[in-house]
Structure 1
Amino acid sequence: MSETISPTFTFVKDGVFYFSRRIPKELLRHYLSPRIAYSLRTRSGKIAEARARKAADQLDEYWFHLRTQDAQLPGKHMLRLGAAEIAGSSPTPQVSSSSFVLLSEAVEIYLQQKGKGRPITFHRAAKRACGYVIEACADKFLDVYTKADANKFRDALIARGLAGSSLTRVFGTVRAVTNFAASEQGLMLNNPFAGVYYDRTAGVSDRNPLPSDAIQTVQSKCREIDDNLRWLVALVSDTGMRLAEAAGLSKEDIITDERGSLVVRVRHHPWRRLKTKGSERVVPLEGQARWAAQRILTQGSSSELAFPRYNKTNTTNANAASAALNKWIKEYAPDGCTMHGFRHSMRDRLRAVECPADIVDQIGGWRTDGVGHGYGSGYPIEVLRKWMKAVT
């Protein structure tokens, strides 16, 4: 076939083939537009012909279904009055108009509404996850995707080498995008990307807590070396903060409370967002965390940031901090232990002194289940400090 001749139901724009087909007049009331048109995402006439033929066949089958639903019920005049009224008043089956929403369009709908004020990583995650679907199963209308497509998508992700936790994150993003776009358009959608089976533990390595002797060794080395990197390690080691939370602190976040003790305010900054709303909190600084905070406040740097080396752009580079510090602590901690292990260790250390679980959650910024925990402003700082002193 000559590439210059467009196959049936297609046209070419900027070298790319598009599918185009007019809606039959008797079915126009089911649609929002008199024509269906979308990109076939190819410059090949042969590929375009196959895709257009498949789409046309799907439409013919769907339109047959619509015509059948619209047809007058044979023998309706012979029904008893009650049954005839039921048959006559039966509403026209609601037809999903999600045929007008491609997955690529659903991403734009999602980001336009949900992406406002969100970091670039949020936008990238949505586009990347749905891009995986399009690459594996093509860019289809939302109601055209099937469970077979979802399984094919799963297999493609596994072939990429994604771990079970990454699959969970990607599938969650795809479900969020498709559900939101369908809701925005008022569509009924049985999401095929829900309930897909895969091994959630595959390729997932445990994040081990650091044992107490390793924590003491690392903290001792921090005081011995006494530089900005070691202050960051020490701060995390005795607060259980996420590394990104600590790396993105400003000096103004480290304050003296009314009793003259140091605390750190973990709060949102333009250069570093928090993982969840519950992550915003105040943490008492005790043990080596207090030492690190004092060193940060007395350093000669003119920067307003606690760790300027990881805030040279408009976004805290927590990945660089993680890579550098994980490499350093490998010498003093058992295999499998990372900076994030300090967060796990803090929870274990608080458990060991029988600290109440909701206080543990408040210190670490973890979510506490139960409606009642959403009331009030939490425990006073002195109550938190009592437990932090008990573990440092």
Structure 2
Amino acid sequence: MPKHAVRIYGDFIRQALSKDPVEAEAYAERLSNVLEGSWSSTTRITPVDVVSVVESFKPRSCLLSEIAEEYLVLRKIDQTPPRVALSTFVSLAGDREVSEYTREDAKLFVRHLILRGNKTTTVRRRINSLSAILNYAYSELDLDKRNPFTRLMIQGEGEDTFKRGVFTREQLKLGYDKSLSSGSTVKLLMPLLGETGCRLAEIVGLRIEDIDLQEDLIHIRPNSARRLKTPNSTRTLPLVGYAKLAMERTIERSDREWLFPRYIKEGTCKATHASNALNKWLKRDFEGLTAHCLRHTMRDRLRALECPNDLIDQIGGWRTVGGVGVTYGQGYSVEQVRVWLGAVSQAICSE
């Protein structure tokens, strides 16, 4: 103990820390740093509550699986993609301390996915999932290490993509009529998605309190079961035409909390399950088109009416790329949005 600190702390400090020598070393390092800061001044010493310091500090585990669990709990995202990526990577490189993974481990992961026939867009998503977990780990553990997944190249990336198709007006009307007469809650997603331009998770994860049938509005906002993709995704949209009819029928089959309670499990929105169920029908009856094609179709329908681009972005919750100026102000009013969505809907209803 430094002589100038003896009056505050006594001749020495002894603290039982841990039977594990590695854990004990971490505790000792933490306590030493705190004490060094306390007695760095030789004239005025602020005493440290040693017991509280020890009780509040716990050495961090460095295993990839454990740090990944912590990351997923904090992020509250759809856990399926990162868990799939994590499971595959661990099967190839092992569940080790995060500091031990190398560039060769990352390259092995990419080669494995390509050999299994994954498209390059899927490979990139898996890379991004693991990269995010490792970035979090390095930050939390204060590790000065380059992420092995950073700027990782994929041979032929993008060359295996295809342009997503869109629905014709005839297909939309046929699908909407089938949805309303089917008695299937899942099929009602088609007009809800097709006439709002929303992402599937945005509709499947709606709370009843997000829906205002008196004003025919839905409020797309984050909640405990699902987050939104971008800050621009928070928005209010009017329900017009087929969307209004579908919403009225869907609410009749909902519970008091969620619009689609069957897809809210353990406090998480299982949008992927809803997507699989809906796409099974859409692909069969509409030449391979999917739920996400409805979103592309809405953008084309708004373009055809010469709707302003920044209004299109506001309706779909797309990230605006038209410059800083388009983000100024409050944006378009709900009534202005209603006019344009009404015009789009009228084109279908008049068929």
TM-score scaled by length of structure 2: 0.69
- Residue 234 and residue 140 in structure 1: after superposition, are their counterparts in 2 closer, same or farther (change >3 A)? closer
- Tell whether the 8 Å contact from 1:214 to 1:332 is kept in structure 2 after alignment: no
Shift of 1:126: 4.5
* Aligned residue type for 1:200: E
* Aligned residue type for 2:229: K
- Tell whether the 8 Å contact from 2:99 to 2:143 is kept in structure 1 after alignment: no
1:156 maps to which residue? 112
Q: 1:364 aligned to 2:305?
A: no
* Paired residues for 1:167-246 under 5 Å: 167-198=123-154, 199-201=156-158, 204=161, 206-225=163-182, 227-246=184-203
Shift of 1:111: 4.9
1:266 maps to which residue? 220
- Residue 191 and residue 308 in structure 1: after superposition, are their counterparts in 2 closer, same or farther (change >3 A)? closer
* Paired residues for 1:345-364 under 5 Å: 345-364=297-316
2:41 maps to which residue? none
* Paired residues for 1:309-328 under 5 Å: 309-311=262-264, 314-328=267-281
Mapped to 2, the partners of 1:148 and 1:300 lie a distance apart of: 52
- Tell whether the 8 Å contact from 1:167 to 1:200 is kept in structure 2 after alignment: no
2:63 maps to which residue? 105
> Secondary structure, in 3 states, of the residue corresponding to 1:235?
helix
Q: Deviations over 1:248-271 (max 9, x none)?
A: 323332215xxx641111122323
Shift of 1:312: 6.3
* Aligned residue type for 1:295: R
Q: Which moved more, 1:378-387 or 1:276-285?
A: 276-285
1:281 maps to which residue? 235
Mapped to 2, the partners of 1:138 and 1:300 lie a distance apart of: 46
Choose the corresponding residue for 2:91, options 131, 135, 140. Answer: 135
> Secondary structure, in 3 states, of the residue corresponding to 1:388?
helix
- Tell whether the 8 Å contact from 2:166 to 2:297 is kept in structure 1 after alignment: yes
* Paired residues for 1:86-125 under 5 Å: 105-106=63-64, 108-109=66-67, 111-112=69-70, 114-119=71-76, 121-122=78-79, 125=81
Mapped to 2, the partners of 1:116 and 1:323 lie a distance apart of: 25
Greater C-alpha radius of gyration: 1
* Aligned residue type for 1:271: A
* Aligned residue type for 1:307: F
Choose the corresponding residue for 1:292, options 235, 239, 246. Answer: 246
Output the aligned Cα RMSD: 3.5
Q: Deviations over 1:64-103 (max 9, x none)?
A: xxxxxxxxxxxxxxxxxxxxxxxxxxxxxxxxxxxx999x
Q: Which moved more, 1:319-328 or 1:382-391?
A: 319-328
Shift of 1:154: 1.2
Q: Give unpaired runs (5+ residues) of structure 1.
A: 1-19, 22-31, 34-99
- Residue 374 and residue 146 in structure 1: after superposition, are their counterparts in 2 closer, same or farther (change >3 A)? same
1:17 maps to which residue? none
* Aligned residue type for 1:355: C
- Residue 248 and residue 179 in structure 1: after superposition, are their counterparts in 2 closer, same or farther (change >3 A)? closer
* Aligned residue type for 2:292: H
> Secondary structure, in 3 states, of the residue corresponding to 2:237?
strand
**How many pairs does the alignment contain?**
290
Choose the corresponding residue for 1:343, options 295, 300, 306. Answer: 295
Mapped to 1, the partners of 2:285 and 2:84 lie a distance apart of: 37
Mapped to 1, the partners of 2:117 and 2:284 lie a distance apart of: 29
1:45 maps to which residue? none
- Residue 323 and residue 354 in structure 1: after superposition, are their counterparts in 2 closer, same or farther (change >3 A)? same
* Aligned residue type for 1:318: A
Q: Give unpaired runs (5+ residues) of structure 2.
A: 1-20, 23-28, 31-58, 346-351
Shift of 1:108: 3.6
Mapped to 1, the partners of 2:142 and 2:254 lie a distance apart of: 55
- Residue 189 and residue 281 in structure 1: after superposition, are their counterparts in 2 closer, same or farther (change >3 A)? same
Mapped to 2, the partners of 1:248 and 1:195 lie a distance apart of: 34
Q: Which has the higher contact order (CA 8 A, sep 6+)?
A: 2
